[in-house]
């Protein structure tokens, strides 16, 4: 299912229509710049943690090979679409290994069914076991900024 492009990209149109609230806060849309082209790119991601009002945490399920992850590593200035709100400027910050493991452990405990379904997909994609205690999955905090406007 994750490899069916039109299905995976459908939520992007939902967010653009400002109807993202139908996902109930479990998804957000990340707008980032292509590292080579500089063109705006979009991806919808599951929110695995929301530790504060201006911080959302997401995981790169395809590891460091993920295009969105490589793009935000090259330029961490992004915009985040949450619910039905206008996009907000943010900064993408990679969590260290201990923070990543803690975040994934909390996610697995809070959403055991989702983790049970997601884990085999991650393992197939990564080619090795996905262990929440010692993960090499990139975990990214998206910190909303107070500045207004601007595109990534």
Torsions phi, psi for 70 (to 5 deg): -65, -35
Backbone dihedral region for residue 63 (phi beyond 0: left; psi -120 to 50: alpha; all else: beta): left
Q: pLDDT in tens for each of the 152 residues of the chain?
A: 445 555 566 788 788 888 888 888 889 999 999 999 999 999 999 999 999 999 999 998 888 889 999 999 999 999 999 998 889 999 999 999 889 888 988 988 898 998 888 788 777 777 777 776 656 788 999 999 965 544 44
**How much is the pLDDT for 134?**
59
CATH number for the domain including 119?
Answer: 2.30.110.10
Q: Let me know if residue 149 belongs to a domain.
A: no
Give one DSSP letter per residue of the chain, joined into a string.
-TT-HHHHHHHHHHHHTT-GGGGTTSEEEEEEE-TTT--EEEEEEE--EEEETTEEEEE-TTGGG-HHHHHHHH--EEEEEETTSPPEEEEEEEPPHHHHHHHHHHHHHH-HHHHHHHHHHHHHHHTS---SSS--S-EEEEEE-S------
Domain that holds residue 23: 5-144
Total structural domains in the chain? Answer: 1
Q: pTM here?
A: 0.84
Q: Let me know if residue 99 belongs to a domain.
A: yes
Q: Let me know if residue 152 belongs to a domain.
A: no
Closest CA to 135 of 94, 105, 106: 105
Q: Let me know if residue 150 belongs to a domain.
A: no
**How much is the pLDDT for 92?**
98
Give dist(CA 117, CA 110) in Å, integer. Answer: 14
Q: Let me know if residue 122 belongs to a domain.
A: yes
């Amino acid at each position: 299912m994750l490899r069916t492009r039109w299905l995976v990209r459908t939520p992007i149109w939902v967010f653009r229509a400002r109807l993202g609230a139908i996902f109930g806060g479990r998804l957000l849309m990340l707008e980032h710049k292509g590292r080579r082209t500089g063109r705006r790119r979009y991806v919808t991601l599951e929110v695995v943690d929301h530790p504060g009002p201006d911080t959302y945490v997401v995981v790169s399920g395809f590891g460091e090979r993920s295009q969105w992850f490589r793009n935000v590593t090259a330029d961490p200035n992004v915009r985040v679409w949450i619910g039905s709100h206008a996009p907000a400027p943010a900064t993408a910050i990679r969590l260290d290994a201990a923070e990543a493991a803690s975040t994934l452990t909390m996610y697995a405990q809070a959403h055991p069914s989702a983790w049970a379904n997601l884990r085999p997909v991650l393992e197939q994609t990564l080619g090795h076991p996905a262990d929440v205690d010692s993960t090499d999955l990139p975990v990214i905090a998206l910190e909303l900024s107070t500045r207004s406007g601007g595109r990534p």
